[in-house]
Amino acid sequence: MNAQINTVVSLLKYTYGIVPIVAGLDKFTNILTDWSMYLSASIVDMLPINAEIFMMVVGVIEVIAGILVLTRPKIGGYVVMGWLLALAVTLVFSGQYIDVAVRDIVMAVGAFALVKLSSANVQVKAMN
Q: What is the pLDDT of residues 63-112, one digit of tens each?
A: 999 999 999 999 999 999 999 999 999 888 888 789 999 999 999 999 99
Residue 35, phi then psi, degrees to nearest 5: -65, -30
The pLDDT tens digits of the residues spanning 52-73 come to: 899 999 999 999 999 999 999 9
Region of 97 on the Ramachandran plot (φ > 0 left; ψ -120 to 50 alpha; else beta):
left
Task: Confirm if 9 and 120 have CB atoms less than 8 A apart.
Answer: no
pTM (predicted TM-score): 0.84
Q: Return the DSSP state at 53.
A: H
| pLDDT class of 123 with cuts at 50, 70, 90 | low
Q: How far is CA 101 from the centre of its chain?
A: 12
Residue 97, phi then psi, degrees to nearest 5: 50, 45
Coil, helix or strand for 69? helix
